Amino acid sequence: MSEPTLSVRGLTKTYGARPTLLRRDPHRLTAVDEVGFEIAPGQTLGLVGESGAGKSTVGRLVLRLIEPDAGTIDLLGTDLAALPRGDLRRMRARATMIFQDPYTSLNPRMLIKDAVAEPLIMHTDDSRRVRHAKALDMVRRVGLTAAHMERYPYEMSGGQLQRVAIARALITDPAFIVCDEPVAALDVSTQAQVINLLNDLQQERGISYLFISHDLRLVRLIADEVAVMRRGRLLEKGPAVRLFDAPEHAYTRELLAAIPGRTPRARRFTGGRSEPVGHER
Amino acid sequence: MTAAPVSAHDGDPATVRPRRWYQSRILRRLRRNKAAVFSIVVLILIGLIAVLGEWIAPQDPNKVELTSRLMGPSGAHLLGTDELGRDVLSRLLVATRVDLLASAQAVGLALLVGVPLGIVAGYAGGVTDAIVSRVIDALMTLPPLILAVVVVAILGPGLRNAMLAISVVIIPSFYRIVRASTQGARSELYIESARASGCTSWRILWRHILPAVAPPLLVQASFSASVVIVAEASLSFLGLGARAPQATWGLMLNDASSNLTTASYLIYPPTVMVALTILGFSLLGDGLRDAMGRQTTDGGR
């Protein structure tokens, strides 16, 4: 296998008061504790865990949207942690993020065409005309039409908006995208469409995803590898098939048992089934 | 299989008409508000008077005619003459421009100072915010009239200097509104999304924060404009603002007050103009506030 797209080691982030003269050791919360993983080109790492496990924090840390306290982030052959501001900003053309709630992750006062074309303003010298032409191509690629270009976010549905967010993320042709619960705000039928779109785009362009989700059924659909987080720590990681079939850690088994539609006693995931999400039960 | 049926009609870019600014929802909502429409009409009329004042004034506003002083309204002088025999209607029309320009100057200067400070303090937070906010707090403790007296004493009398004092007094209101709205907007997910797309801080402030801050700011600017009109009238009345022979509403009130017992009709024209202008700006502010009600996460209905 070639160089990994993303290689993270010892990633740590704590919150709370800084030590001062009076309190040397204030209470600090460790949100992310010595997390490390790799993602190969064109592969998807599913990051699962309960709420508050630190999944989203990891997603933001690997893009340095939050500054890590410790650890190395090797993204596309660059040491992200040591990157100066300007280079970090330029890096965002190659590595970006799709957020959970498309209703709030798009500026309500921006037309869809401007929202999709915006990254091009920051990363290319394209003229306005070229930018909008590229945006239109991208909007069509994610399954929307030219009519949507002239709309405001409030005039569209959640599924459509998440397509817009995907178009916006993809317009600079990135090699890596953090998907932070990208379908959690959508209803089940739309979830499958968006997941399929992400899958198709990955095959088409060889993008790597860090796919953050609490929904194991979704992760099973899209992830090649899965990492399980709890209380800031990485408990277990491995190929998705192996992890779903033979989880090693007790917590992973608990998570799998908690998938709706299975009885609590079903300790082992039967696996092997490949129906799309939403048809599980 | 991404071909999800999204829309019945795929608009060709050539047939999809781009939106014009006048098709915005804010204007549509504003048009439905009768008081707001009334205020806009009044303000447009006052604006027209301000622009055309010199040409539509029936006489030279400063022409002294001692033979016809303090004459009541008549065919020759529709609103009568003042104690120097000057035509009141002409002075009223010409004063409109002076007052509106003074108001624009005070509000404009306060915006120019208050908005950037508010955005930077609200976005940066921390030490920057603490320092700027304390300075602005200090400004707020200044009593407006005393400040005006001091400014006029230092810089000399005149409408421009009086407006400078008023400007300083209203800076905090803009600063505080902008800072608070910026703090609200800063934590929005779309700001983080803009950062994740590689937007510069400058672009985030200009294209994402400022538009979010603009609605409450416009409302405040409209209200401030009416406050400034009153302030001009008060300061000129007290002799701290415009000086004779310049015609402003405040000075006309001053002239009228000294002849109140003999020529009470003089008090009405400037009073009505001041009242109409204040009413116009206040109703416009109300209308804008209603029309620009939050339209973001709730789906905008």
Distance of alpha carbon B60 from alpha carbon A250, whole angstroms: 95
The answer to whether residue B105 sits within a structural domain is yes
Residues 6+ apart with CB under 8 A from B272: none
The interface predicted TM-score (ipTM) is 0.82
The answer to whether residue B36 sits within a structural domain is no
The answer to whether residue B187 sits within a structural domain is yes
Report the pLDDT value the prediction gives residue B8, as an integer from 0 to 100: 41
Chain A residues with beta carbon closer than 8 angstroms to that of B293: none
Q: Which CATH number fits the domain that encloses residue B120?
A: 1.10.3720.10
Distance of alpha carbon A271 from alpha carbon A260, whole angstroms: 15
Report the pLDDT value the prediction gives residue B6, as an integer from 0 to 100: 43
Distance of alpha carbon B7 from alpha carbon B156, whole angstroms: 67
Question: How many angstroms separate the CA of residue A254 from the nearest CA in chain B?
Answer: 32
The answer to whether residue B25 sits within a structural domain is no
In the CATH scheme, what is the code of domain A1-82+211-269?
3.40.50.300
The answer to whether residue A223 neighbours chain B at the CB level (below 8 Å) is: no
To test the contact with chain B by mutation, choose from A66, A85, A98, A107 the residue with the greatest count of B C-beta atoms within 10 A, namely A107
Give the C-alpha distances (Å, rounded to integers) separating B119 from A133, A139, B175, B197, B201: 33, 33, 8, 21, 12
The answer to whether residue B222 sits within a structural domain is yes
Q: Which of B10, B188, B198 sits opposite A123 (nearest CB)?
A: B198
The answer to whether residue A142 neighbours chain B at the CB level (below 8 Å) is: yes
Report the pLDDT value the prediction gives residue B22, as an integer from 0 to 100: 58
The answer to whether residue B161 sits within a structural domain is yes
Question: How many angstroms separate the CA of residue B21 from the nearest CA in chain A?
Answer: 12
Sign of CA pseudo-dihedral B257, B259, B262, B264? negative
Which range marks the domain in which residue B108 is found?
42-56+78-292
Report the pLDDT value the prediction gives residue B215, as an integer from 0 to 100: 83
Report the pLDDT value the prediction gives residue B23, as an integer from 0 to 100: 62
pLDDT in tens, B239-287: 888 877 788 888 888 888 888 888 888 888 999 999 999 999 999 988 8
Q: Give the A window 62-81 contacts with B, CB below 8 Å.
A: 63, 65
Question: How many angstroms separate the CA of residue A154 from the nearest CA in chain B?
Answer: 5
Residues 6+ apart with CB under 8 A from A217: A259, A277, A280
Report the pLDDT value the prediction gives residue A277, as an integer from 0 to 100: 44
Domain spans, chain A: 1-82+211-269
The parts of chain A modelled with pLDDT lower than 70 are 1-2, 19, 21-26, 261-281
Q: Give the A window 174-193 contacts with B, CB below 8 Å.
A: 193
CA end-to-end span of chain B: 33
Instruction: For chain B, 301 residues long, give each residue's pLDDT as a single digit of tens.
Output: 444 444 444 445 555 566 665 567 778 888 888 888 999 999 999 999 988 888 887 888 888 877 777 777 877 777 878 878 788 888 889 889 888 998 999 999 999 999 999 999 999 888 999 999 999 999 888 888 888 888 888 988 888 888 898 899 899 999 999 999 999 888 889 999 999 998 988 899 988 998 888 888 988 998 899 889 888 888 888 888 887 778 888 888 888 888 888 888 888 899 999 999 999 999 998 888 888 765 433 433 3
Q: Which of B2, B207, B295 sits opposite A108 (nearest CB)?
A: B295
The answer to whether residue B68 sits within a structural domain is no
* 8 A C-beta contact, residue A227 and residue A236: yes
pLDDT in tens, B1-26: 444 444 444 445 555 566 665 567 77
Residues 6+ apart with CB under 8 A from B271: B253
Report the pLDDT value the prediction gives residue A78, as an integer from 0 to 100: 87
Chain A residues with beta carbon closer than 8 angstroms to that of B189: 99, 101, 104-105
Report the pLDDT value the prediction gives residue A135, as an integer from 0 to 100: 92
Q: Closest-CA residue in chain A for B185? A: A107
* Domain tally, chain B: 1
The answer to whether residue B48 sits within a structural domain is yes
